[in-house]
A = this chain, B = another copy of it.
C-alpha cells in the first residue's frame, strides 16, 4: 500500500472514526483504525463493536485532488499513536507506505515515523444492514432532536434500557424520548413525506451513540438517510457511515406518565428562571439539588433554598401568566436547568398537578417538545 493524502482531510476523517474507538477494548485490533486504499479513495474505519464509523476520503472532488494512490492495500494502525502523529506532522501532505511485514512508514517533510501495523483481515466486518426501513432527516434537525433528549438518559446501568433514547415513528412523526426515571425529555419531528407509511416503536439507541454522532455531524440542511433494523441503526451522511447497536429490553410506556390534567399553570421568562435556579443551587445540598418554589400571588413566585450551616437564598421570579391554585413544591433544580438549557424559546410554561405529582415544562410557543419532572418530598 502506498498513497499521498492531504493532511487536513486525513486528520478530520481520523477524528471522526476515532470517536468509535475505546481505549478499553478487549479485542486488540479494535484499538486500531482500519485503512483501506483503493483507486477511488481511502476509507477509514473505527469500531468498539457498539458503534462503528466509516469515513471515506475520495481521491478527487471536482478539480481538487485529495489522495494520490500509488499502490492499493489495507492495514490497521494503533489509533492513539496514529491520530497524534498525523495531527503533529509538519507539512500539508502525508505519505503512507506499508510493506509486507505490515510496517507503516508515515512521512511528511523532514519527519519519518515507522509504526507496527496489524493485519486488516483480522478486523471485524461491519454489520450487514438490510435497507428496508429507511427515512430521512435534515442534519440540523437530527442534531436538535439529539440535543433535546440525550442529556436526560440514565447514567446508571441498573436499568440498561434507560441509558438509551427511545425512537418511535407513527403517521410520519418521529418521537424521541429519554428518561432516567426522575425526569423525562421528549421531542417530536415530522419526517420527509416518502416515509409517511413507515412505522416502528421500541427502537432504543444508546445515548452515547447519538451524542458521538452529533459531535461528528456539521450543522447543515443536508439530508441524512437513517436505516432501522431489529438490532442496528445506520446513519448515512456524505462520505460517512455511522452504525450503532440498539439496546435490548422494553422501554417503559412513557406516554402514560405524562399528566393530562392541570391544577396550576405558570408562564415564565426562561432566562430569568434559569438564572434564579442557578443561584438557588449555590445553597442547595450538592447531592439532591433541592430547590423550593412557592406562589406568592398571581405575579410573583418565590424560589428558595437553604444550607443550614451557610445560609439561605430567596429569589423573586415574575409570573408572566398564572392560572389555577396556589402552589408549593420542591424539585431537583439541576434537572430543570438541564431542560432550560435545551429549550430555545424565551418563555416557558409549567403545568403542575399538585405538590406530589410530576409536572410538565414546555416552550410557551411550541408543543413539539416536553419535559417532565418528579417533585422531591421535603418532609
Chain A positions within 8 Å of B, measured between CB atoms, are: 78, 81, 84-85, 88-90, 103, 110-116, 275-276, 278-279, 282-283, 309-318
Q: Which of chain B's residues have a CB closer than 8 A to the CB of A309? A: 116
Q: Which of B110, B278, B317 contacts A317 (CB 8 A)?
A: B110
Q: Is the CB of A111 within 8 A of B313?
A: yes
Q: Which of B111, B316, B317 contacts A315 (CB 8 A)?
A: B111
Q: Is the CB of A88 within 8 A of B279?
A: yes
Q: Which of B78, B88, B89, B312 contacts A113 (CB 8 A)?
A: B312
Q: With both chains docked as a complex, state the minimum distance between the C-beta of A110 and any C-beta of chain B, in angstroms.
A: 4
A88 to B114, CA, bound (A): 53
A-B contact pairs, 10 of them (CB 8 A): A85-B279, A88-B278, A89-B279, A110-B317, A111-B279, A113-B279, A114-B312, A115-B310, A115-B311, A116-B311
Name the CB-closest residue of B to A107.
Answer: B314
Q: Which of B111, B116, B278, B282 contacts A276 (CB 8 A)?
A: B111
The residue in A81, A84, A279, A315 that gathers the most chain B C-beta atoms within 10 A of its C-beta is: A279
Name the CB-closest residue of B to A310.
Answer: B81
Q: Which of B110, B114, B312, B318 contacts A311 (CB 8 A)?
A: B114
A84 to B316, CA, bound (A): 19
Q: Which of chain B's residues have a CB closer than 8 A to the CB of A312? A: 113-114
A192 to B376, CA, bound (A): 65
A57 to B232, CA, bound (A): 62
Q: Which of chain B's residues have a CB closer than 8 A to the CB of A85? A: 279, 282, 313
Name the CB-closest residue of B to A304.
Answer: B112
A354 to B81, CA, bound (A): 33
A67 to B130, CA, bound (A): 71
Q: Which of chain B's residues have a CB closer than 8 A to the CB of A315? A: 110-112
Q: Which of chain B's residues have a CB closer than 8 A to the CB of A283? A: 81, 113
Q: Which of chain B's residues have a CB closer than 8 A to the CB of A276? A: 110-111
Name the CB-closest residue of B to A112.
Answer: B314
Q: With both chains docked as a complex, state the minimum distance between the C-beta of A269 and any C-beta of chain B, in angstroms.
A: 11
Q: Which of chain B's residues have a CB closer than 8 A to the CB of A115? A: 310-311
Name the CB-closest residue of B to A275.
Answer: B90
Name the CB-closest residue of B to A109.
Answer: B316
Q: Is the CB of B311 within 8 A of A88?
A: no
A110 to B85, CA, bound (A): 54
Q: Which of chain B's residues have a CB closer than 8 A to the CB of A111? A: 276, 279, 313-316
The residue in A276, A311, A312, A318 that gathers the most chain B C-beta atoms within 10 A of its C-beta is: A311
Q: Which of B90, B282, B317 contacts A81 (CB 8 A)?
A: B282
Q: Is the CB of A112 within 8 A of B282?
A: no
9 further interface pairs, Cβ-Cβ under 8 Å (given A113-B314, A116-B310): A88-B278, A110-B315, A110-B317, A111-B276, A111-B279, A111-B315, A111-B316, A112-B313, A113-B283
Q: With both chains docked as a complex, state the minimum distance between the C-beta of A195 and any C-beta of chain B, in angstroms.
A: 46
